[in-house]
Each structure stands twice: as C-alpha cells, then as structure tokens.
Chain A
C-alpha cells in the first residue's frame, strides 16, 4: 500500500519531469519501489533516458533494470514493437536468463498468444516451481481472458504454497467480491485479519463484506469490525463511521426496536454521527447539511 505522503511525492516528481525540471531517473526508481502502475509516464520518461547514450551509461548496471521496467510499461501501453526491442537488448546481454524469459512470456501474453504463453510459463516453472512471479502471471492471464473461475483456481493453488502472501489473499478476496461470492471473500479477510490483526483496511473490508451478506448475525459482527477499524485509525476512518450508522439502522429495521443492547448500540451510532459531523464541518463544510439529511434518513438521532 502507498501512503499519502509517498503518493504526493510521486505526483510532485511527475509534475517536475513533465515540465522539464529533470528527475526522470528518480521518478522511475520511485515508481519501481512503490510498485505503481503508471505505464504511460514510465514509457515516456524511461524511453527518453534509454535513448540518450550519456544518460544511459551513467546508470551503470542499473541500465538493465530500466530496460526491464520500460519493456513492461510498453506492453501495458500496447506498444509491443518497443517492448520487443527492449527485450531483445536484454536477451543479447543475458542470453540464458530466466528473468528475461519471463519478459518473453509476458510479450506472448500481450500479443494474446495464450497457449504459447502458457507453454513458456510451464517450462519456466519446471526449472523453478517456486517462482512466485510465474505463478502470478498465470492468475493474471486467466483474468485477462475473463476466466475468473480459473484465476480463482490458480490463486488457491498458489496460496497453498505461499500462505503468507497478503496481496494474493487480497486479490482473491476482491475477485470473489466482483463475482458477488461474499462468503468466500469473508473467508479471505478472516485469514488476513488473523495474520495481520492491526491493519485497519482488512477489518474495514471484512465489515463491508459482512454487511453486504446481511442478516442479523452478520450485521452485529460487521458493526464490531467497523468499531475495530475506528479504534485502529483513531476515529479517522470515514467509511467505518458511516458503516456503524448503516449497521445500526439495518439492525433496528430487522428487530423493530426489540433489541436488548439497544442503548449501547444507539450510543455508538450517535458518537459515530458526531464524529462524521465534526469531520465534515472541518473539511467539507459545503456538504455538511447534506450529511445531516443523510444521517436523518438513516434515522440517526443526534
């Protein structure tokens, strides 16, 4: 995950490069470090560095990393002609490299030659069955073909080996959500919360999934995880504050006020509503009255 300061730093640097202020190499390094997907800019700036012999040789061995980065960006921008050229340069320099082999397989993917790409992946996996990147390429390939059932199958196989890969669990959860398979998505978030109990994002996502599933039991559980999110973020998470209000309203509707823990629950709701009002007053005053009417239609009393 990218923090706000990191994102601002990237944007500032991007503006600087765009306006001719230099810093292309720093920008490219930062994008790589943060694993951002800004293919059009990477291709543009990276290409200009690679095309300038003095700038290129100043990079030393990093030159080859840049070729790899720009080749992937070119594929993302559908500039397969350029990608092919960059990969060829790398091939000449590292004839037996598996890392270059992966790029070649990716180029097959970009061309839509799925069967050949799969063959290339299988042979790379034969050499090293624990190559995480190749396993992930297989998932990506299934997704690119719109075959989400197969993507799920590959991801599950991958997670049997690499259980601690949080991003992969998240990816799986998000695919399940997109297919509206909420129970399966909930399971993924349970795994994530167990292994990283202090990441608010997982609590929030789990609460959202539980609310979407609905039913009294899930709504109660959802409220608890929204509360945990608020706890972990020092009361700053707007989505969780809204979540509490939604849950309380939905529970009220289901139980028609026959709820035993009514009092405590209403207190939590009005505290969340107050926190929302305070936040809107400070940072979005023009929408404060809109917030108030929204809360009213959720039957939140202040």
Chain B
C-alpha cells in the first residue's frame, strides 16, 4: 500500500450504520461497508452499508452466511466489501474490540485498504450541540499487523460525501427512524425482513 488512502462515505451508508447502533443501544452492533477503490488505490468510496448483527457478534456461522449473501448481492452492482463497522456495547468504551480486529483482518485479505470504522459515542452525543460536519466515527486502517487510527496528521482521512449528513441524521434520530432499520440478525429470525433496507429512506 502506498501512502494513505482517503475514505469517503455516502450519506445513506453512514446513516444506516448510526441508526443501527441507536436501535440496539444496549448491545454491541456491527455492519459491512460496500464500495470501490479508485484505480490508483488512493481513494476508497463507501457507497452503501449493511447492518449485520446485534447479538453474539463473536459467532462465525451467521457472519459467514452474511458475507456470502451480501457479496453476491453487491457484486452484481459492481461493489465489493471495502470495510467493517463496529459499535461497542458501553458508551464510554473507545477500544477497538478483538472481534472487530479479527473481522477486519479477514476483510483485508481480500481488500487490503479496508476501513474499520468505530462509532464515536462522544461525538454522537455532542451532535445536537454543535455544527460538527465530520462523521461520528473513528477510522482505523491496517498498518503491518496492527490497526492504527487514521488521520493522524490532523487531516480528515474519512469524510461524508454530503455535507448535510449530520443534519439529516439528527432529523432521523428525532423522528425515531432507527426503529425501522433491519439487520441481518433480524433477517435470519424472519427472512421476510430486508437487510438492504430498501424502504428505509422512501
């Protein structure tokens, strides 16, 4: 990998991940990032996301089924898995969990510049107070065998494509939009539930 890639996440992908975490406030949740890299690998575009699980994140079978299905679905649209999202169980926990690192490691085998996003609860909590435009997530990227925090040089290595994303997000939070988001766990319990969340923003 040459230099540091830049990561841009689309508003819908971003909002789905945060709403998923808000729906399951008392549990750790995770999700997958779908997108593509620019030909020179200097930029990664995160076009969509799929909320995965809100219970027993450390178990392999549901994850394997989800990875195959989601890869198949987005492959047809020319998108592949470019990263992973994780939100911790406790609001004051800012550590990257081992499970998250392991899943991230797995993804980097197929996509070396994979982004690992961790929900930043402090920033999320402060959202209504300020005019924060940067995403309420921390970016981690693979550096040798470990994961390091991105944007160390004070630059915003992770940005949301639409500048209004946080305003839209706040609207959704106050209208309790998070109630209607569906993850892969929900799908496995009742397959009529759609993890693409096609109806969510209509």
Interface of A toward B, CB cutoff 8 Å: 37, 144, 146, 174, 177-180, 182, 205, 207-209, 211-212, 238-239, 242-243, 246, 279-280, 283-284, 286-287, 290-291, 293-294, 297-298
Q: Is A246 within 8 A of B57, CB to CB? A: no
A37 partner, pick from B26, B56, B65, beta carbons under 8 A: B26
1/0 contact trace for B56-95 toward A, CB 8 Å?
A: 1111111011001100110000000000000001101100
* Of the residues B60, B73, B92, contact of A212 by C-beta under 8 Å: B60
Q: Are B68 and A297 touching (Cβ within 8 A)?
A: yes
Contact A208 B65 (CB under 8 A): no
Bound Cα distance from A265 to B121, whole angstroms: 47
User: How far does the alpha carbon of A209 sit from the alpha carbon of B72 in the complex, in Å?
Assistant: 26
- Given that A144-B90, A284-B191 are contacting pairs, would A298 and B57 also be in contact in the complex, using a CB cutoff of 8 Å? no
User: Which residues of chain A are near B69, meaning CB under 8 Å?
Assistant: 287, 290-291, 294
Residue B99 interfacial (CB < 8 Å): yes
Q: How far is the CA of A279 from the CA of B102 in the complex (A)?
A: 32
CB distance from B157 to the nearest CB of A (A): 27
> Could you tell me if B68 and A174 are in contact, using CB atoms closer than 8 angstroms?
no
**Given A209-B59, A242-B61, A298-B68, A180 contacting B99 (CB threshold 8 A):** yes
CA distance A37 to B194 in the complex (A): 25
Rank and list the top 10 A-B pairs by shortest CB-CB distance, nearest first.
Answer: A212-B60, A284-B191, A177-B58, A208-B59, A283-B192, A293-B72, A294-B68, A242-B65, A294-B69, A211-B61
A283 with B58, Cβ < 8 A, contacts A180-B99, A290-B69, A294-B72 known: no
A239 in contact with B62 (CB, 8 Å): yes
In the bound complex, do residue B28 and residue A243 qualify as a contact, i.e. CB atoms below 8 Å apart?
no
State the main secondary structure of chain A at its contact with B.
helix
Kindly list 8 other residue pairs between chains A and B, CB separation below 8 angstroms, not including A211-B61, A280-B191, A287-B194: A178-B28, A178-B56, A182-B58, A208-B56, A212-B60, A283-B192, A287-B69, A290-B69
Q: Establish whether residues A290 and B59, one from each chain, have CB atoms under 8 Å apart when the complex forms.
A: no
Q: Whole-angstrom distance from the CB of A268 to the nearest CB of chain B?
A: 16
Answer yes or no: B98 CB below 8 A from chain A CBs. yes
Which residue of chain B is the closest to A76 with respect to CB atoms?
B26
Cβ of B188 < 8 Å from any Cβ of A?
yes
**Which residues of chain A have C-beta atoms less than 8 A from B72's C-beta?**
290, 293-294, 297
> Which residues from chain B contact A280 at a C-beta distance below 8 Å?
191
Residues of A within 8 A of B194 (CB): 286-287
